[in-house]
Amino acid sequence: MLQITLQPLSQLTAEQLATKTTFDCGQPALNNYLINIAKQHDNKNITRSFCAIKEDNIIGYYSLSNATVDINNLPQEITKRYKLPKHDMPVVRLCRLAIDSKAQRQGIGEKLLIDALEKVLSVAKVSGCVGMVVDAKDQAVANYYQGYGFVPAPDNPLLLFMPLPTIQELFAE
């Protein structure tokens, strides 16, 4: 089994932080975010980033922020099933999720996604939150999230939503 630890970016050691410059997931924008922007956003309370660490190297990360979603962008069956009001609703946005190319296809993305979904449950305990949204980069990424239960918006298949009750069911004992 792959041994990794998950740590908030703000708690990484100087040695661990230094490894972000060698991080390469194959997507320049995601690399750049980790290397040049994530720490600034963390300091300014814009996003919180969490890193997968293996042997003191960053091998993956994800970033979260608070957001709202226009309820009209969500599938009607979801809004009806959960009786959501007809105005913007608070959600947690999965802003980014990336795995270093050398560590891809080892289940790290799944571990990071599960950790992010657990954080949604924590947010929901102290603040209003109806679920998680993610803006997929392309259809292949959208398919990845749909495999975990995210539902695409009717007018934008790259906007995906997982309602809080679905997240709660995933972690029910």
How do beta strands 5-8 and 151-153 pair?
Answer: unpaired
33, 61, 62, 145: which one is catalytic?
Answer: 145
Does the active-site annotation cover 145? yes
d(CA 157, CA 140): 11
Quick one: 44 exposed, middle or buried, by C-beta within 10 A (0-12, 13-18, 19+)?
exposed
> In 10 A of CB 66, how many CB atoms?
16
Residue 2, SS3?
coil
Is the Cα dihedral 129, 135, 136, 137 positive or negative? negative
Contact 157, 142 (CB under 8 A): yes
> What residues form DSSP beta bridges with 51?
7, 61
E-strand ranges in the chain read 5-8, 48-54, 57-69, 89-99, 131-135, 151-153, 156-163
Q: Which positions are catalytic?
A: 145
